A = this chain, B = another copy of it.
């Protein structure tokens, strides 16, 4: 079933201990869409400027991603520059130029309206909520956010959370949102704000899935121990793409399907780190993905 994702499509300049890249294709919606495209049909809502041309389009096209919701306007695309020289687990942001993204008004193409899955990538919660409200028929809604919205736009964010089935955020965001340093207690507090499932991403330590309700259970997916983390940019969005893409590909959303989705999330997150930008994620095969899935099974299973 098709996923609609709303979020940023951007250019990133990235420096890591492995090297430097200028103006790679980036943005949360880009990473999410590429990762999810190996599992199901993906439709993107975003805005880009005149610097987004054929070369960037071809990356989406090659993965069969629907771009009718990517609006082209005068000006430059969202640009981010960051460095991981000090800490591979957290980028130091050097430049954020919102450019055309500053006036982003998401428009949902008619052709997207039958999407059964909706992913609200990390953007202004006012926009997240608008898109969510305009797609009342979706079967499952997941979303991401970040500390900036949690700290400075909490009322708007709380409105978004009410409309989410699944929230995917990291440890710090979970603790900050709940105002509680114990992760289990914090997860319960966050789920009381709306989402019935919460995926807490731990970076190099994997991710934990929490559910409300008795029938379900907490589940942990590891991260792959990597010889070299070339560029962690987009790993979290790629996790979300693998996770939500796999869910959208399944006829029924059982607890077992959620667990496999956690593994596919980790798999796509691990690939994202192996090359700069989207280089690795845009050039995978489903066979490589499933081979790595099996590696994750070996890494965690007793038998």
> How many of these chains are in the complex?
2
Q: A202 in the interface, Cβ–Cβ < 8 Å?
A: yes
* CB-based contact B185/A299 at 8 Å: no
Can you show 28 pairs from A to B with CB atoms below 8 A apart? A88-B181, A182-B226, A182-B227, A183-B204, A183-B225, A184-B225, A184-B226, A185-B227, A185-B228, A205-B205, A206-B220, A206-B222, A208-B225, A217-B298, A217-B299, A218-B225, A218-B299, A220-B300, A222-B222, A256-B302, A256-B303, A260-B302, A263-B302, A297-B302, A300-B300, A300-B301, A301-B301, A301-B302
- The docked-state distance in angstroms from the alpha carbon of A181 to that of B204 is 12
The 8 A CB mask of A209-227 against B (1 = contact, 0 = none) is 0000000011110100111
> Which A246-303 residues have a C-beta within 8 angstroms of B?
256, 259-260, 263, 297-303
A229 within 8 A of B: yes
Residue of B nearest to A227 (CB): B184
| Residues on the B chain within 8 Å of A208, using CB | 225
Q: Which of A94-152 contact B (CB under 8 A)?
A: none
Residues of B with C-beta under 8 A to A182: 226-229
Question: Which B residues touch A298, using CB under 8 A?
Answer: 217
Chain B, Cβ-Cβ closest to A188 = B227
Known interface pairs A202-B205, A205-B202. Does A219 touch B184 (Cβ–Cβ under 8 Å)?
no
